[in-house]
A and B are shown apart, each in its own frame.
Chain A
Amino acid sequence: MTAITEGASGSRQRFPALPGWAITTAGIVAFLLLWEVVARTLLAGSYIIAAPSEIVARIDEGAALYGRALRTTLWAALLGFLIGNATAILLAGVASLAARAERLVQALALVVFCLPLVATGPILRVIFGPGIGPQVTLAALAVYYTTLIPLLVGFKAVPSSWPDLVASYGRGRFQTLIHVRARASIPYLVAGLQIAAPAAFLGAMVGEFTGAERGLGVLTIQAIRTLDVAGTWAIAVIATVTSIAGYVAIGWVGKRFSHGAPPVLLAAPPTPDRSAPGRRIVTGVLAVVLTTVVAIGLWWALLELFDLHPFFAKRPSDVWNYLFNLPASGANRERVLSALAETLSVTVPGYIAGLVIGFLAACLFELYPAAGRAATPIAIALRSIPIIATAPLIVLAFGRGAFGMLIIVGTLTFFPTLVAVAQGLRQTPGQVVDLFGVYRAGGVRTLVTARIPSALPAFFAAARMAVPAAVLAATVAEWLATGTGIGNLMALTASTSAYNLLWSCVVVLTLVSVAGYGLVALVERYVLHRFAPEQLR
């Protein structure tokens, strides 16, 4: 890793006058000022934006109330964080010990990651009853994937001579895991845990949307219902600051334990498969079938194991019958699919817009490093905002129509893309950039021919991970605010106890997310093959 990180800073020192922290601080101050001015002039009285000063006043006023709610949510988030990450570490360990299980573990993990959290909330609510069960479960679900995947990558990011060394003393995978892989993967683990901090908070808040008694999520719902703009913003700010604090704290702790900088890639890259194309298709199909069978088996087994009542805990067969086997199945399908189409009609454009703008912004920042240095920390901070907390704001600002949704999905895709691409661009090995310097290639030229190809894997990693996130954002916005699409349909079914429909929605949405993820992975394979084959190895 060292060679890469060294290359990162080496060659661009065009603005040496100001130290980094000064530029960052200036950026933050300018941002706040702009916000205050806009809120007090342009958008005053529009029920959209509260000025920073108003928000601070509101937080001060409701300190006791917010403090209590924050404690509740934090506690649920913390429990979920611990449970989710412990599960991830355990799964990664299993995958590392049993190589054949790795692909299955990854595929199942992806399926679970693609579960629409909003819809899982009400189901968990009936299962757990009152209390923090659903919040904790959702927080755990929200974090485990972003820890599991970097860990799996980190386990493999060792020179082959290290495992060979262990094997040369006749020891197997377990000793390799203990002595080599565990320690080598710490930077990756830290990167995953950092992302997990805001994600856990987000999961806990989503859990609170679905019928909790206390917590920031509950306050958010009340604030939206009463059109309390300052209140909504106050909660969003509290959630954001808390998340960023978690992000920074874990990063700080992590730095003390890992020497290298945390890597960018947080999604497993597509494994280069050198077998013949025909064979590849066969193994691919087999993998999908196997995953489906195991997923359905697990679903059924879990419900039976906990002896959950079939009234709300629908089995795979119930969903199948509901969608395909009953006289009303045609109508049922029609209902789910038309709602899905409505959701996708905004999610897909928003997702693509987020990707494109994020990519372009990162390139701009690369060409104008001063702007980049001011903006990157803000982008990293914004990436860690629990977007759910801001969804209501965006709906307030841009209305309940498609445009508001577009903005939500777009923003959610934009920030991770920006951060990943920016870091990917900077990862170009120093010598390559120096080579371009020697030939006096211009900034744009270097960017296009050298930096962008090496940033492609980071871009696609972000793009893949953003698929379930975009679906989540869209459904949450629909659930909470816009009253359209499959998110709204699930909200209705949850309140009318139409559990067959709810489970069907969950299944369909999960399939759509998994398919989207797979589609992006295919595009990735094609593009990398075509434009950056060296990245495929």
Chain B
Amino acid sequence: MPDHRLFDAEGRPRPVSLPEVRVADVTKRFGRRKSEVVALDGFDLTLAPGTMTALVGPSGCGKSTVLRMIAGLDRATSGGVTIDGQPPGAVNRRGEVAVAFQDAALLPWRTVEANIALARQLAGQDRADELVANLIMMVGLAGFERARPAELSGGMRQRAAIARCLATGPRLLLLDEPFGAVDELTRRRLNIELPRLWEEHGATGLLVTHSIPEAVLLADEVVVMSPRPGRVIARIPVPLSRPRNAAQLKSQTFLEVADRVAEALGVDRDEPGVPLQPAAAPMPAIPRIKLAAGGAG
């Protein structure tokens, strides 16, 4: 695994080559004519090399859409997305981009080990059993190498998914509400573990989240989006020192930054998350998980 750790043993920043991501004046429309949805309109974002950026905003404002375009899973209707000057896609094949999905996306018939190894397989890398074993240790799943996803708790599944993200040694990490589906306690624990993992691994990162504390604790900059059509309405730097730790949650800086993010969003800081309804228009449901087409439910 390439070594692009951000800090050396003494905690001093290390010079490493990490990608810069530019999203320039992007518009994204879904559907056509009458049923058209403008998800993003004139959206700009830059992910500086080696930083973690948190993207927050009301539900349906286009956060996932931004992330999917950077991951090369969707194309912009107009405007450009580049990773170190190249369009996304070219870099993906080398395993340099990793995406964590809200639902963990572990294949139920594969063991934890095999799910993690799948990333390397897809990236065309060798099996590297030792690395996989190390990653499993790192995310605290030792002993569950042979377990299937169904035997894991929600939090354990998310950790497995994060281990899988790190397995290819990516230089760009895209996390779409990685803890959206886990309970509050687990989420808090993972919020403290994730910065450590990320700092040890070293990568440019984008984190989509609904939780203000999560955004502030994990990110170097919090980008706040408007309701749909999504634009950037505030960019709030997080001047907390790295490596991050749980104690910072109570620091004055933390509370101040969290207040500014909450204010930009128009909510109270102590609310557990960003309001789930956009200000106007009811939210159209996007069927994300499709069971047997036409099946019950």
A interface vs B, CB < 8 Å?
1-4, 153-154, 156-162, 164-171, 175, 179-180, 183, 188, 259, 263, 265, 268-271, 274, 276, 424, 427-429, 454-455, 457, 461, 535, 537
Known: A165-B105, A168-B71, A169-B122. Is A157-B292 also a contact (CB below 8 A)? yes
Contact B293 A179 (CB under 8 A): no
Known: A157-B291, A170-B89. Is A179-B122 also a contact (CB below 8 A)? yes
Contact B297 A3 (CB under 8 A): yes
CA distance A306 to B294 in the complex (A): 41
User: Which of these binds chain A: B19-27, B96-104, B262-270?
Assistant: B96-104
Q: List 26 A-B contacts (CB under 8 A).
A: A4-B291, A4-B297, A156-B293, A157-B293, A159-B105, A159-B288, A159-B290, A160-B289, A164-B73, A164-B99, A164-B101, A165-B101, A165-B122, A168-B99, A170-B72, A170-B92, A171-B122, A175-B122, A179-B118, A183-B107, A259-B109, A263-B295, A268-B293, A274-B31, A429-B297, A457-B296
B interface vs A, CB < 8 Å?
31, 33-35, 68, 71-73, 89-95, 97-99, 101-103, 105, 107-109, 118-119, 121-123, 150, 168, 174, 287-297
Contact A159 B289 (CB under 8 A): yes
The CB with the most chain B CB atoms within 10 A, among A156, A161, A424, is that of: A161
Contact A166 B122 (CB under 8 A): yes
Known: A179-B122, A259-B108. Is A169-B292 also a contact (CB below 8 A)? no
CA distance A159 to B101 in the complex (A): 11
How many whole Å from A182's CB to the nearest CB in chain B? 11
Known: A159-B288, A162-B105, A179-B118. Is A168-B296 also a contact (CB below 8 A)? no
CA distance A265 to B35 in the complex (A): 30
Q: Which of A164, A170, A269 is in CB contact (< 8 Å) with B105?
A: A164
Q: Which of B105, B150, B174, B291 is in CB contact (< 8 Å) with A161?
A: B105
Q: Which of A1, A2, A160, A165 is in CB contact (< 8 Å) with B288?
A: A160
Closest to A162 in B: B105
How many whole Å from A231's CB to the nearest CB in chain B? 43
Contact A1 B118 (CB under 8 A): no
How many whole Å from A531's CB to the nearest CB in chain B? 14
Contact B105 A457 (CB under 8 A): no
CA distance A156 to B295 in the complex (A): 12
List 6 tightest A-B contacts by C-beta distance, closest first: A269-B294, A170-B92, A170-B93, A161-B105, A169-B122, A427-B296
The interface residues of chain B lying within 8 Å CB-to-CB of A169 are 92-93, 95, 97, 119, 122-123, 168
The interface residues of chain A lying within 8 Å CB-to-CB of B119 are 169
Contact B293 A153 (CB under 8 A): yes
Closest to A159 in B: B289
The interface residues of chain B lying within 8 Å CB-to-CB of A3 are 297
The CB with the most chain A CB atoms within 10 A, among B97, B103, B122, B292, is that of: B292
Known: A156-B290, A159-B103, A159-B290. Is A168-B97 also a contact (CB below 8 A)? yes
CA distance A164 to B287 in the complex (A): 15
Contact A535 B294 (CB under 8 A): yes
Contact B73 A167 (CB under 8 A): yes
CA distance A158 to B34 in the complex (A): 29
Closest to B120 in A: A169
Closest to A186 in B: B109
Contact A1 B122 (CB under 8 A): no
CA distance A424 to B297 in the complex (A): 11
Closest to B287 in A: A537
Q: Which of B33, B73, B94, B107 is in CB contact (< 8 Å) with A162?
A: B107
Contact B295 A427 (CB under 8 A): yes
The CB with the most chain B CB atoms within 10 A, among A159, A179, A270, is that of: A159
How many whole Å from A415's CB to the nearest CB in chain B? 21
Q: Which of B68, B73, B109, B122 is in CB contact (< 8 Å) with A183?
A: B109
Closest to A267 in B: B294
The interface residues of chain A lying within 8 Å CB-to-CB of B94 are 170
The interface residues of chain A lying within 8 Å CB-to-CB of B294 are 153, 265, 269-270, 457, 461, 535, 537
Contact B291 A428 (CB under 8 A): no
The interface residues of chain A lying within 8 Å CB-to-CB of B290 are 156-160, 537
How many whole Å from B86's CB to the nearest CB in chain A? 12
Closest to A455 in B: B296
The interface residues of chain A lying within 8 Å CB-to-CB of B71 are 167-168
Contact B293 A1 (CB under 8 A): no
Contact B34 A276 (CB under 8 A): yes
How many whole Å from A254's CB to the nearest CB in chain B? 14
CA distance A535 to B296 in the complex (A): 7
How many whole Å from B116's CB to the nearest CB in chain A? 12
Q: Which of B93, B98, B295 is in CB contact (< 8 Å) with A457?
A: B295
Closest to A536 in B: B294
Q: A157-B291, A167-B71, A183-B107 are in contact. List 6 more A-B contacts (CB 8 A).
A: A156-B293, A157-B292, A168-B97, A271-B293, A427-B297, A535-B296
